[in-house]
Amino acid sequence: MSETSPIERALVTGGAGFLGRALVAALRARGVTTRVLDLRPHRDAPSVVGDVADPEAVARAVEGVDTVFHTAARIDWSLNKTAQLERAHVEGTATVVRACEAAGVARLVHTSSVDVMSGGGPYDGGDESLPLPTRHYDDYSRTKAIAEGLVLAADRPGGLRACALRVANIWGPGDPILVPRFVDMARRGPLVGLGDGAARYGFVYLDNAVDAHLRAADALAADARGDGPGAGGEAFFVSDDPPINFFEFFSPMLAALGLRSRWWWMPAWPLRPIAIAWETANRWNLTGDTPPALTRFTLDAVSQPFWFRADKARRVLGWAPVVPPDLALATTVAWARAELLPAR
């Protein structure tokens, strides 16, 4: 974010989450008065504890802010949580949009996901010109796609300026999902990768994802002034370079931690019927609250090309990764060594 950034008072929905916490810290470090809306309070920032689908809570949260970063999401690829995912993403995003319009908020930056492309592909360097799939594999991807559409449709010259960032898988210190999962896998036994190791996948380091959000807000402000790059009403893929195989991405990290880092490969196609069976069992509540361990989306995403170019974000937002890969790896390894290795 530039020194002349117009952001003075910001709201971060989902500000107690992985991305949200880092975004709150970056805003506060720049002197931005920052508020959080989350189901749990943020330890360092004023918080409205509530649900993004609760109009009263959202109205209180957006009061007096000029910029909203809507990062709140329910990370769940279950197939029996349709109502919960629609409330979190569709109803929640609609509530945020309405509250922004009613309160005269100037800018709304929405955290979308590359998962909105699930059900299509393979994608070997796709871009924003590609249409969204007509059908998605799961409710998470489907509802995130609907939420993105609600935000983009809300963009109005002379009113609320809004855009969406389709972030790749975010990783880094504090990662609650990917890094702990692979550390645990490397401890338990041989590492088995799906496919032949050739398919490439997109990742984005936490600080780089945060910087993209800040630049998006600046670009929306410039659009409102009439001298902007045209970010309003647009979606942007945000992904570091270069893309890499999903499994091989973790090998340097695991090796640095002194864990197994060699992959044994198996073809993905025999597992597709198993993924479908697991999805079916989950959809019919035969697995309870446990999400399916394997789905068609995860199977396709890790065994086929699934990455998208960030050229548009570079061109329009002026974004580029601010943390180089070597530093990102070293920082994450140090965190994992301190936080993950002692716990078995």
Catalytic positions are 140
Q: What is the dihedral of CA 250, 253, 254, 255, to 10 degrees?
A: 120
Beta strands at 67-70 and 9-13: parallel, antiparallel or unpaired = parallel
Q: Encoding tokens for residue 175? A: 């990662």
What's the DSSP call for residue 54? -
Q: Encoding tokens for residue 131? A: 């249409």
Tally Cβ neighbours within 10 Å of residue 187. Answer: 14
Distance CA 79, CA 68 (A): 30
Task: Please say whether the dihedral angle defined by the alpha carbons of residues 285, 289, 294 and 299, taken in this order, is positive or negative.
Answer: positive
Residues 203/310, Cβ–Cβ less than 8 Å:
no
Residues 142/187, Cβ–Cβ less than 8 Å:
no
Q: Give the N- to C-terminal CA distance of the chain in Å, as an integer.
A: 39
